[in-house]
Amino acid sequence: MNFLHAIVLGIIEGATEFLPISSTFHLIWSAKLLGLVPTDFSRLFEVFIQAGAVGAVVFLYFRTIISDKKLMLKVFASFIPTAVVGLLLYKVIKQFFFNNDFLQLAVFLIVGLIFILYEKFGSHKDNKKGLEMLTYTDAIVVGLVQALAVIPGVSRAGAVILGLMFLKVRREEAAKYSFLLAIPTIFAASALDLFKMRDLLINNSGNISLLLVGTIAAFISAMLVVKWLIKYLQGHSLANFGWYRIAVFTALIFLFVL
């Protein structure tokens, strides 16, 4: 991996972490397109640069985080079931989900189709609830839905946004909640991974510049995408993300399978 790879992957991480298109899926398949062979360092890099994406949300929503205690308690309630599922399935996630190309591609496509079908046939025109109307039961349900994102291709953000829309929450409000929920979720997952890879982190101290470059790139791209998505969802549906998934799936099938 060189600095160009670090910048490209950092931008992809930041740009896709908060869009309903699965950042993990994009990192895995972007690395394949770049011809990067999976190594211990590349796995460390993918975990480390998530700090940049999370940092962007903390920066943009710092006032909400420190002032809206009721909302943050609900965010924490959503985090708990996700954390439990993540811990119970940790080995399966790393050893099976992350290495099963067919599963990733199939899930990526299926979720895209769900977006399109929901926007066309779902009863989402009455989605007028704000986050202040969210109950703790709703929050726990959202956490369980988010847990589906342990499979690369699902998208943590997509699962949360769609789950909240089923609960009649407005799209832009659902996106905001997914941003806030990313903070404890990604922080905890990354902390666990980095703890398990602590020896690898120490042994790769000479590559700290690559890690920092990727993290900064992720921070900047995430800042831009978070601001854009809120505005976008005020007047657009998730269907376009569904069509994007179908286009990417088709391209990858031709490139890697056919």
> Per residue in 36-87, pLDDT tens?
888 888 888 888 899 899 999 999 999 999 999 999 999 999 999 999 988 8
Q: What is the pLDDT of residue 45?
A: 86
Amino acid at 60: L
Q: How confident is the model at residue 205 (pLDDT cuts 50, 70, 90)?
A: low
Q: What is the pLDDT of residue 256?
A: 78
Q: What is the pLDDT of residue 141?
A: 95
Whole-number Å distance between alpha carbons of 82 and 138: 14
Q: What is the pLDDT of residue 204?
A: 67
Q: What is the pLDDT of residue 236?
A: 86
- Domain ranges within the chain, ordered by starting residue: 3-257
Q: What is the pLDDT of residue 184?
A: 92
Residue 242 or residue 96, greater confidence: 242
In the structure, how many helices (H) and strands (E) does the chain have?
14, 0
Is it the case that residue 124 has pLDDT exceeding 70? Answer: no
Integer Rg of the chain from CA? 18
Closest-CA residue to 220 (of 44, 3, 12): 12
User: Three-state SS string across 160-197, please?
Assistant: HHHHHHHCCECHHHHHHHHHHHHHHHHHHHHHHHHHHC
Q: What is the pLDDT of residue 135?
A: 93
Q: What is the pLDDT of residue 126?
A: 65
Whole-number Å distance between alpha carbons of 39 and 31: 11
Q: What is the pLDDT of residue 240?
A: 94
Q: How confident is the model at residue 258 (pLDDT cuts 50, 70, 90)?
A: low
Quick one: average pLDDT of 176-193?
Answer: 90
Sign, CA dihedral 177-183-188-194, equals positive
Please state the pTM of the whole predicted model.
0.89
Whole-number Å distance between alpha carbons of 159 and 22: 10
Is it the case that residue 191 has pLDDT exceeding 70? Answer: yes
Q: How confident is the model at residue 150 (pLDDT cuts 50, 70, 90)?
A: confident
CA 93 to chain centre: 15
In the chain, how long is the greatest CA-to-CA distance?
A: 54
Residue 93 or residue 186, greater confidence: 186
Sign, CA dihedral 24-29-34-38, equals positive
Report which secondary-structure segment, H or E, holds 87.
Answer: helix 69-88
CA 38 to chain centre: 20
Whole-number Å distance between alpha carbons of 204 and 188: 22
Whole-number Å distance between alpha carbons of 84 and 208: 31
As given in the structure block, the two tokens for residue 44 are 């460390």
Amino acid at 214: G
Of 5-14, 33-42, 145-154, where does the model show the most confidence? Answer: 5-14
Sign, CA dihedral 117-120-126-131, equals positive
Q: What is the pLDDT of residue 123?
A: 66
Is it the case that residue 138 has pLDDT exceeding 70? Answer: yes
In percent, how much of the chain has pLDDT > 70?
A: 96
Q: What is the pLDDT of residue 5?
A: 92
End-to-end CA distance of the chain: 27
